[in-house]
Amino acid sequence: KAGVTQTPRYLIKTRGQQVTLSCSPISGHRSVSWYQQTPGQGLQFLFEYFSETQRNKGNFPGRFSGRQFSNSRSEMNVSTLELGDSALYLCASSWRGDTEAFFGQGTRLTVV
Amino acid sequence: AQRVTQPEKLLSVFKGAPVELKCNYSYSGSPELFWYVQYSRQRLQLLLRHISRESIKGFTADLNKGETSFHLKKPFAQEEDSAMYYCALIQGAQKLVFGQGTRLTINP
Protein backbone atom coordinates (compact mmCIF):
# COMPACT_ATOMS: atom_id res chain seq x y z
CA LYS A 1 0.00 0.00 0.00
CA ALA A 2 1.10 3.56 -0.57
CA GLY A 3 3.09 5.19 2.20
CA VAL A 4 2.62 8.53 3.88
CA THR A 5 2.86 11.29 1.30
CA GLN A 6 3.92 14.83 2.11
CA THR A 7 3.71 17.76 -0.26
CA PRO A 8 5.54 19.77 -1.23
CA ARG A 9 8.96 18.22 -0.64
CA TYR A 10 10.76 21.56 -0.60
CA LEU A 11 9.67 25.10 0.11
CA ILE A 12 11.41 28.44 0.30
CA LYS A 13 9.53 31.26 1.99
CA THR A 14 10.28 34.76 3.17
CA ARG A 15 10.07 35.92 6.77
CA GLY A 16 6.58 37.05 7.65
CA GLN A 17 4.86 34.87 5.08
CA GLN A 18 2.70 31.91 5.93
CA VAL A 19 2.93 28.35 4.67
CA THR A 20 0.70 25.29 4.46
CA LEU A 21 2.08 21.77 4.37
CA SER A 22 0.05 18.72 3.42
CA CYS A 23 0.11 15.11 4.57
CA SER A 24 -1.80 12.16 3.14
CA PRO A 25 -1.75 9.22 5.56
CA ILE A 26 -1.72 5.55 4.72
CA SER A 27 -5.18 4.40 3.72
CA GLY A 28 -7.16 3.39 6.79
CA HIS A 29 -4.98 5.30 9.25
CA ARG A 30 -6.91 7.80 11.31
CA SER A 31 -4.15 9.31 13.38
CA VAL A 32 -1.81 11.89 11.91
CA SER A 33 0.98 13.55 13.87
CA TRP A 34 3.48 16.22 12.92
CA TYR A 35 7.09 16.70 13.98
CA GLN A 36 9.70 19.38 13.42
CA GLN A 37 13.27 18.21 12.88
CA THR A 38 16.21 20.60 13.24
CA PRO A 39 19.93 19.98 13.80
CA GLY A 40 19.83 21.77 17.13
CA GLN A 41 16.58 20.56 18.68
CA GLY A 42 16.20 17.19 16.97
CA LEU A 43 12.73 15.75 16.46
CA GLN A 44 10.02 17.63 18.31
CA PHE A 45 6.34 16.84 18.44
CA LEU A 46 4.00 19.49 17.08
CA PHE A 47 0.50 17.99 17.31
CA GLU A 48 -1.62 14.94 16.64
CA TYR A 49 -5.04 14.57 15.07
CA PHE A 50 -7.47 11.69 15.21
CA SER A 51 -10.80 11.71 13.41
CA GLU A 52 -10.53 15.45 12.76
CA THR A 53 -9.86 16.27 16.44
CA GLN A 54 -6.60 17.52 17.87
CA ARG A 55 -5.77 15.18 20.75
CA ASN A 56 -2.31 16.30 21.69
CA LYS A 57 -0.19 19.39 21.20
CA GLY A 58 3.48 20.08 21.68
CA ASN A 59 5.24 23.13 22.98
CA PHE A 60 5.09 25.39 19.95
CA PRO A 61 3.69 28.91 19.61
CA GLY A 62 0.21 29.53 18.30
CA ARG A 63 1.66 30.39 14.88
CA PHE A 64 1.76 26.65 14.31
CA SER A 65 -1.64 25.15 13.67
CA GLY A 66 -3.12 22.17 11.94
CA ARG A 67 -6.25 20.44 10.92
CA GLN A 68 -7.46 17.10 9.71
CA PHE A 69 -10.11 16.43 7.13
CA SER A 70 -12.76 13.72 7.04
CA ASN A 71 -10.58 11.61 4.73
CA SER A 72 -7.80 11.78 7.37
CA ARG A 73 -5.58 14.02 5.24
CA SER A 74 -3.95 16.67 7.36
CA GLU A 75 -2.48 20.09 6.86
CA MET A 76 -0.29 22.18 9.06
CA ASN A 77 0.02 25.91 8.79
CA VAL A 78 2.72 28.22 10.03
CA SER A 79 1.93 31.92 10.01
CA THR A 80 4.30 34.86 10.26
CA LEU A 81 7.32 32.76 9.42
CA GLU A 82 10.57 33.30 11.29
CA LEU A 83 14.07 32.25 10.28
CA GLY A 84 14.04 29.71 13.11
CA ASP A 85 11.12 27.88 11.50
CA SER A 86 13.50 26.52 8.87
CA ALA A 87 13.35 22.78 9.40
CA LEU A 88 12.30 19.43 8.06
CA TYR A 89 8.65 18.86 8.91
CA LEU A 90 7.67 15.22 9.22
CA CYS A 91 4.23 13.75 9.22
CA ALA A 92 3.45 10.31 10.63
CA SER A 93 0.30 8.24 10.44
CA SER A 94 -0.93 5.29 12.42
CA TRP A 95 -4.12 3.33 12.67
CA ARG A 96 -5.30 4.80 15.93
CA GLY A 97 -2.40 6.65 17.53
CA ASP A 98 -0.99 4.02 19.84
CA THR A 99 0.30 1.72 17.14
CA GLU A 100 3.33 1.87 14.88
CA ALA A 101 3.83 5.29 13.33
CA PHE A 102 4.74 5.43 9.64
CA PHE A 103 6.63 8.53 8.58
CA GLY A 104 6.57 10.51 5.39
CA GLN A 105 9.66 11.81 3.59
CA GLY A 106 9.14 15.24 5.04
CA THR A 107 8.84 18.78 3.74
CA ARG A 108 11.98 20.84 3.97
CA LEU A 109 11.07 24.43 4.70
CA THR A 110 13.63 27.17 4.32
CA VAL A 111 12.79 30.66 5.56
CA VAL A 112 14.92 33.46 4.15
CA ALA B 1 9.26 15.83 32.33
CA GLN B 2 9.55 12.86 30.03
CA ARG B 3 12.92 12.75 28.40
CA VAL B 4 15.01 10.45 26.24
CA THR B 5 18.79 10.69 26.27
CA GLN B 6 21.16 9.19 23.75
CA PRO B 7 24.61 10.04 25.07
CA GLU B 8 26.54 9.27 21.88
CA LYS B 9 26.02 11.51 18.85
CA LEU B 10 28.44 9.43 16.80
CA LEU B 11 29.44 5.78 17.06
CA SER B 12 31.87 4.03 14.79
CA VAL B 13 32.60 0.30 14.88
CA PHE B 14 34.19 -2.23 12.55
CA LYS B 15 32.20 -4.74 10.57
CA GLY B 16 31.70 -7.91 12.58
CA ALA B 17 32.17 -6.14 15.92
CA PRO B 18 29.37 -5.89 18.50
CA VAL B 19 27.30 -2.74 18.58
CA GLU B 20 25.53 -1.09 21.49
CA LEU B 21 23.63 2.18 21.15
CA LYS B 22 22.71 3.63 24.50
CA CYS B 23 19.35 5.07 25.45
CA ASN B 24 18.19 6.29 28.84
CA TYR B 25 14.80 7.69 29.64
CA SER B 26 12.89 9.47 32.36
CA TYR B 27 9.18 8.75 32.54
CA SER B 28 6.63 8.55 35.31
CA GLY B 29 4.65 5.38 34.80
CA SER B 30 5.16 2.42 32.49
CA PRO B 31 6.95 3.61 29.38
CA GLU B 32 6.53 2.24 25.91
CA LEU B 33 9.84 2.51 24.08
CA PHE B 34 10.91 2.31 20.47
CA TRP B 35 13.95 2.42 18.28
CA TYR B 36 13.56 4.19 14.95
CA VAL B 37 16.15 4.11 12.17
CA GLN B 38 16.81 6.38 9.24
CA TYR B 39 19.01 5.01 6.48
CA SER B 40 20.60 7.41 4.01
CA ARG B 41 17.97 9.09 1.82
CA GLN B 42 15.17 7.02 3.34
CA ARG B 43 12.34 7.92 5.64
CA LEU B 44 12.33 7.35 9.36
CA GLN B 45 11.08 3.84 10.10
CA LEU B 46 10.39 1.72 13.14
CA LEU B 47 13.13 -0.76 13.95
CA LEU B 48 11.64 -2.32 17.05
CA ARG B 49 9.41 -1.68 20.04
CA HIS B 50 9.96 -3.15 23.46
CA ILE B 51 6.50 -4.67 23.88
CA SER B 52 6.93 -6.88 20.81
CA ARG B 53 10.21 -8.33 22.09
CA GLU B 54 11.24 -9.03 18.50
CA SER B 55 14.69 -9.18 16.99
CA ILE B 56 14.79 -7.11 13.81
CA LYS B 57 17.80 -7.28 11.47
CA GLY B 58 19.70 -8.91 14.33
CA PHE B 59 19.05 -6.00 16.70
CA THR B 60 17.55 -6.46 20.15
CA ALA B 61 16.73 -4.07 22.95
CA ASP B 62 15.78 -4.85 26.52
CA LEU B 63 13.89 -2.48 28.74
CA ASN B 64 15.65 -2.13 32.09
CA LYS B 65 13.31 -0.27 34.39
CA GLY B 66 15.81 -0.23 37.24
CA GLU B 67 18.40 1.57 35.15
CA THR B 68 15.75 3.34 33.02
CA SER B 69 17.55 2.19 29.91
CA PHE B 70 16.63 0.70 26.55
CA HIS B 71 19.95 0.05 24.86
CA LEU B 72 20.03 -1.32 21.31
CA LYS B 73 22.41 -4.19 20.65
CA LYS B 74 23.65 -6.30 17.80
CA PRO B 75 26.34 -8.95 18.19
CA PHE B 76 27.92 -8.59 14.74
CA ALA B 77 27.66 -5.28 12.88
CA GLN B 78 27.15 -5.19 9.13
CA GLU B 79 27.94 -2.34 6.75
CA GLU B 80 24.25 -1.90 5.93
CA ASP B 81 23.61 -1.03 9.59
CA SER B 82 25.17 2.39 9.04
CA ALA B 83 22.35 4.84 9.72
CA MET B 84 20.90 7.33 12.18
CA TYR B 85 19.21 5.68 15.16
CA TYR B 86 16.63 7.33 17.39
CA CYS B 87 15.33 6.07 20.68
CA ALA B 88 11.82 7.26 21.54
CA LEU B 89 9.05 6.83 24.05
CA ILE B 90 5.37 7.37 23.49
CA GLN B 91 3.52 9.81 25.69
CA GLY B 92 -0.21 10.08 25.31
CA ALA B 93 -1.88 9.99 21.93
CA GLN B 94 0.84 9.28 19.41
CA LYS B 95 3.23 11.80 20.93
CA LEU B 96 6.69 10.39 20.41
CA VAL B 97 9.46 11.89 22.49
CA PHE B 98 12.72 11.33 20.67
CA GLY B 99 16.32 11.30 21.77
CA GLN B 100 18.82 13.35 19.81
CA GLY B 101 19.91 10.37 17.79
CA THR B 102 23.13 8.42 17.27
CA ARG B 103 24.83 8.24 13.91
CA LEU B 104 26.23 4.74 13.56
CA THR B 105 29.00 4.11 11.05
CA ILE B 106 30.20 0.61 10.30
CA ASN B 107 33.71 0.53 8.93
CA PRO B 108 34.68 -2.25 6.51
A12, with CB counted inside 10 A (0-12, 13-18, 19+), is exposed
Contact at 8 Å (CB) between A6 and A76? no
CB contacts under 8 A, B 36-75 vs A, are: 43-46, 49
Task: Give pLDDT, residue B2.
Answer: 86
User: How far is Cα B96 from Cα A43, in angstroms, rounded to an integer?
Assistant: 9
Task: Give pLDDT, residue B51.
Answer: 78
Query: Given an 8 Å threshold on Cβ–Cβ distance, is A43 in contact with B93?
Result: no
- For residue B42, what is the nearest residue in chain A, using CA coordinates? A105
Task: Give pLDDT, residue B90.
Answer: 87
Check CB contact of A5 with chain B, cutoff 8 Å: no
User: How far is Cα B54 from Cα B7, in angstroms, rounded to an integer?
Assistant: 24
Query: Given an 8 Å threshold on Cβ–Cβ distance, is A43 in contact with B86?
Result: yes
What's the pLDDT tens digit per position in A44-98?
Answer: 999 999 999 999 999 999 999 999 999 999 999 999 999 999 999 999 999 876 6
Check CB contact of A42 with chain B, cutoff 8 Å: yes
- Of A5, A102, A103, which to mutate for an interface test with B (greatest number of B Cβ within 10 Å)? A103
Query: Given an 8 Å threshold on Cβ–Cβ distance, is B94 in contact with A104?
Result: no
Q: What letter represents residue B39's amino acid?
A: Y
What's the pLDDT tens digit per position in B63-88?
Answer: 998 999 999 999 999 999 999 999 99
What's the pLDDT tens digit per position in B12-53?
Answer: 999 999 999 999 999 887 788 999 999 999 999 999 988 777
